Structure 1
Amino acid sequence: MSGTLYGLGVGPGDPDLLTLKAHRLITRAGTIAYPAPDHGESFARAIVARHIPEGAREIPIVIPMRTERFPAQDVYDAAATEIATALEAGEDVVVLCEGDPFFYGSFMYLHARLAERFVVEIVPGVSSLGAVTAAARLPLIARQDVLTVLPATLPDAVLEERLAGTDAAAIMKIGRHLPRLRALLERLGMAERAVYVSHASLPQQVTCPLAQAPEVAPYFSMIVVPGKDAHV
């Protein structure tokens, strides 16, 4: 019998935000896979490192962290092949995913390759959006507010159209896009109620009004614009 593939959300960074179910599966895991940069340690693994059993087999999914394009599909193809071999041998495989597996989570690419062949269980985790709003101590939406989640990598025209048609927004993957996002939100009259958060739930967390945000943001940062009814 084939093993079960677990797509496991490990939360936004604070190890104490790991769910009880995730903890149970990690401490019993024989094989653990996780995304990892080509330089430095895996953030997903670091969150749960103290819970990984001694002797567990580890499968790093090495994803180059650079601006130029790289063959990402080849990376996930190779990882899926290695994981499939373990599953076919009857091993359960736990795949760690920062935040939640299906909220901009890398696990979805493995799911697309393996879900038709193996039993898959998704273990949700605390998402980055939940961590950011908690860090900001800011209600995001209320009553009939509509929330729009946007990647900062979209063109200005698309961002402006989506933002103009929503009550509240969360803009992710900020990085070098922060200056143009700030200008765009100012143009739309949304900057005054916008909040910038980086490294939510971690010791180096930064939370401030958008006007006070740095010129260049780290990858793990977000801008949230609460709905007008969220404070009423």
Structure 2
Amino acid sequence: MVLALQSGTFIGVGVGPGDPELLTLKAYRAIQAADVVCYLENEAGQSQSLDIAVEALKKPIKQQLHLGIRFAMSRQRVAANLAYDKAITQIQVHLKQGKTVVFLCEGDPLFFGSFTYLLERLESQYPSQVIPGVPAFVAATAELQIPLTVLKQSFAVITGRHSDAKIKAALLDHDAVVIMKAGIERPRLIALLKETQRFDDANYLEYISRDQQRIIRDLNQLDNVAGPYFSLFVITREELTA
């Protein structure tokens, strides 16, 4: 690994699922100490991760730190890759100056996190660190107050983007399953839950730990239509495996 002379440090900071009080002390200190703060934002210039950090710090980051790097993120893969490439170019400008750059990530940086794609692009040219955050599914089970796994139960995490076959295999093979990124796949996922006889085992959650949080424990009350991006299913068995 060849590091740039007088190089800065790139830090992925998990800010949690939404509740600013779930931000860790280590994340709090890293954000406060950073020279540059960067984050994903949508086309309207809004950033969920930035909002969480600002609320946790109780003051605008603009007034406290150098303003970080903004770039709009598209869910189209080609557009997303172009955005990541552009972001890395901007980030490297600051790293070459020996600055500490923090990248804010909703949930955990390495759990379906965009930080992963940025870290890969740096190709070990600069020192890097990762500060873990509370992932949405952990906050979800806390809200539900149900254990994900006990004793010899097995557990799997998949996404709504997987094939029918892979989702059915997870539902049939594991006692507990979390399906992330339910969103537009919600009708298909409901059908698969019914097909595998896991419908009654499932809970549905949106916007975990945020003001607009929604929890549906009886899926008969859930509309069979597409839902928001920040949604997931938590499927657990009632009986315990000895």
Shorter-chain TM-score tier? over 0.9
Are residue 130 (structure 1) and residue 138 (structure 2) matched?
yes
| Aligned-pair identity (%) | 38
Provide Cα deviations, 1:104-151, integer angstroms capped at 9, x if missing partner. 011000111115111101000011111111122221111111111111
* 1:211 and 2:220 matched: yes
Aligned match of 1:64: 74
Counterpart contact for 2:153–2:241, Cα < 8 Å: no
Equivalent position of 2:36 in the other structure: 31
Please say if residues 45 and 72 of structure 2, whose CA atoms lie closer than 8 Å, have aligned partners that are also in contact. no
Note the aligned Cα RMSD (angstroms). Answer: 1.8
Unaligned runs of 5+ in 1: none
Structure 2: how far apart are the matches of 1:166 and 1:231?
11
Indicate the SS of the match to 2:146: coil
Deviation at 1:30, TM superposition (A): 1.8
Q: Is the 8 A contact 1:139 1:230 kept in 2?
A: no
Distance 2:30 2:68 in 1: 14
Number of corresponding residues? 230
**What is the Cα deviation at residue 71 of structure 1?**
2.3
Q: Gaps (5+ residues) in structure 2?
A: 1-5
* TM-score, normalisation: structure 2: 0.89
Question: What's the CA shift for 1:162?
Answer: 2.5
Corresponding residue of 2:169? 161
TM-score after normalising by structure 1: 0.93
Where 2:220 maps in the other structure, the secondary structure is: helix
Give the Cα–Cα distance (whole angstroms) in 2 for the partners of residues 143 and 230 of structure 1: 7
Contact 2:48/2:106, CA 8 A, preserved across alignment: yes
State the Cα distance separating 1:61 from its structure 2 match: 2.9
Identify the match of residue 6 of structure 1 among 3, 11, 21.
11
Structure 1 residues 216, 71: CA separation in 2 closer, same or farther (over 3 Å shift)? closer
- 8 A Cα contact 1:2 1:89, kept in partner: yes
Contact 1:145 1:229 (C-alpha < 8 Å) held by counterparts = no
